[in-house]
Amino acid sequence: MSANEQIDVFLQPGDLFVGDAGYRIRTMLGSCVSITLWHPIARIGGMSHFLLPSRGGHAPGGELDGRYGDEALQLMLRELRRSHLPHAQCQAKIFGGGNMFPGYKTAAAMSVGQRNGEAARELLRMRGIPVVSESLFGDGHRQVIFDIATGDVWLQQVAPTLQESPN
């Protein structure tokens, strides 16, 4: 692999990945949220793609699951500790939480995407990890690319093409 080549990793919902500058991580988000963590000196970072803020109970057998924001962050921090990186020295970015069905608005409850985004902010705040950038909420999905070599994230938000109204 030459110095300019990177390995692309695509995250499905519930996946996460932590690696070094040789990797670029991609995903596509609707109401799901991704947290990126990046250590600017070590050029090591990771990204999660979670579906819900938490499972609401204990993990069976103590196994953590990347589908839940609180557990995905624990898994990422565990991987960073293996590289002897203090998580407080990392920079976080948060993406996603989009409303995939804007024609179906409910006044009573916060949307799944809204809950995911708020949970990501709170999880990072509780651990003292600074959020340096975010792109949350709105309508439609996002395509996200995280370059671990530079810490840069490229984002494209795509509005829904079909606006349906509830009957």
- Please state the pTM of the whole predicted model: 0.88
Using an 8 Å Cβ cutoff, are 124 and 85 in contact?
no
What CATH code would you report for 9-158? 3.30.1330.200
pLDDT level of residue 166 (50, 70, 90 thresholds): very low
* Burial (CB count within 10 angstroms: exposed 0-12, middle 13-18, buried 19+), residue 37: buried
For residue range 59-82, what is the model confidence (pLDDT) as tens digits? Answer: 667 789 999 999 999 999 999 999
The token duo for 37 is: 């963590």
Cα angle 125-126-127, degrees, rounded to a multiple of 5: 90
112: left (phi over 0), alpha (psi -120 to 50) or beta: alpha
Using an 8 Å Cβ cutoff, are 33 and 97 in contact?
yes
* Burial (CB count within 10 angstroms: exposed 0-12, middle 13-18, buried 19+), residue 45: buried
Helix (H, G, I), strand (E, B) or coil at 4: coil
- Sketch the domain layout of the chain as residue ranges: 9-158
Using an 8 Å Cβ cutoff, are 73 and 21 in contact?
no
Looking at the chain, the whole-number percentage of residues with pLDDT higher than 90 is: 69
The token duo for 153 is: 């994230």
Q: Which helix (H) or strand (E) holds 157?
A: strand 153-158
Extract the runs of DSSP E, i.e. beta strands, from 3-140.
7-11, 16-19, 23-29, 33-39, 44-48, 91-96, 131-136
CA-CA distance, 141 to 68, in Å (whole number)? 19
For residue range 86-130, what is the model confidence (pLDDT) as tens digits? Answer: 888 999 999 999 887 776 666 444 588 999 999 999 999 999 999
